[in-house]
Amino acid sequence: MREISIQKNEAGQRMDKFLAKYLNKAPKSFFYKMMRKKNITLNGKKAVGNEQLKQGDVIKLFLAEETIENFIDHSQFSKKKASSAKKQTAGKKVQLDILYEDEAAVFINKPVGMLSQKASPTDTSLVEYFIDYLLENGKITEEELHTFHPSVCNRLDRNTSGIVAAGKTLQALQGLSEMFRDRTLKKYYLCLVKGQVKENQRIHGYLVKNEKTNKVTVSQKKPAEQTKDGKEASTIHTEYKVLARNRETTLLEVHLITGKTHQIRAHLASIGHPIAGDYKYGNRSFNDTLKKKYGLRSQLLHAYRLEFPENCEGDIKQLSGKIIKAPVPALFEQICKAQGVM
């Protein structure tokens, strides 16, 4: 017999989902059968699998230890552990820039050049660094990683810097992710753009993504037809405020109302004000000048502020009304000061 006590970071998920992670080699039919026969119970009672687990709940497996072990793929976890260890010892160790942390959530100032999440199996991303940070500081155990993997709740492009939210518990991860989806969380960016923007504005458009090139196009009018892969254009809304300007550049605060792939970069480029350093959507000669003068090799786009609503609940209730800010990278600040807009 084995007894499993549900920890805070495992709470909030269905019992059958938890069992599928814990007994990761067992077919679902097995643990449903065991629940029917009361060989797997929840808090001493018969379970069906759709129960929402709470912290302190106790699952008992009335099974032989050999049977339990046969249904757990330890090698799957060992590979992740080995990969993490290899990353820690190879090259320069990464020190995360933690902006805010509580028992359930962490907000990190992601640097330019770091992936938010893996693009391929061989990548190392902020997620892996975040898990290492939690392990090293005793905020999660290796055993707990069997049934819950802390992760990030929003993604920034590799060469966009700024705030990335991460959940240390399942409830926080779910709550933050929902806020990003339903837009109850306000997201603000800073960017330096080409040209003189004269007034604050809220603009809208229609965005279509090309999956093959990972590039989007923005138009002011809705395309009459669907794309070749059958996807319709997404409606996008972007609001910006002029903070400072000169004849050649403008520093903008951008409120990202909708959140689509490359939205800010493509939307501003579509109205004639591409972001400095953005070779995918920007002006090459303008970018080459900044590259030669300052060594700029990435877009000057920074996710610098998050504003939470007053009614956060559950594991993230302590974030109610909170404002989190991230300082801009040194090169961003240097170029803006040289341009006289900061």
CB 227 within 8 A of CB 208: yes
Whole-angstrom Cα distance, residue 320 to residue 210? 38
Q: Which segments within 199-248 are labelled E, that is strand?
A: 201-210, 215-219, 234-245
Catalytic one among 57, 132, 157, 278?
157
Active site residue 132: no
Of 78, 331, 240, which is closest to residue 339 (Cα–Cα)? 331
Q: Are the C-beta atoms of 328 and 190 separated by less than 8 Å?
A: yes
* DSSP conformation class of 14: B
Q: CA nearest 302: which of 248, 341, 258, 265?
A: 265
Q: How far apart are CA 272 and CA 96, in angstroms?
A: 36
d(CA 35, CA 42): 9
The one-character DSSP state at 52 is B
The HSE-up count of residue 152 (CA atoms within 13 Å, CB side) is 20
Please tell me whether residue 23 adopts helix, strand or coil conformation.
Answer: coil
Q: Which residue carries 């004000």 as its tokens?
A: 273
Catalytic residues, by residue number, are 157
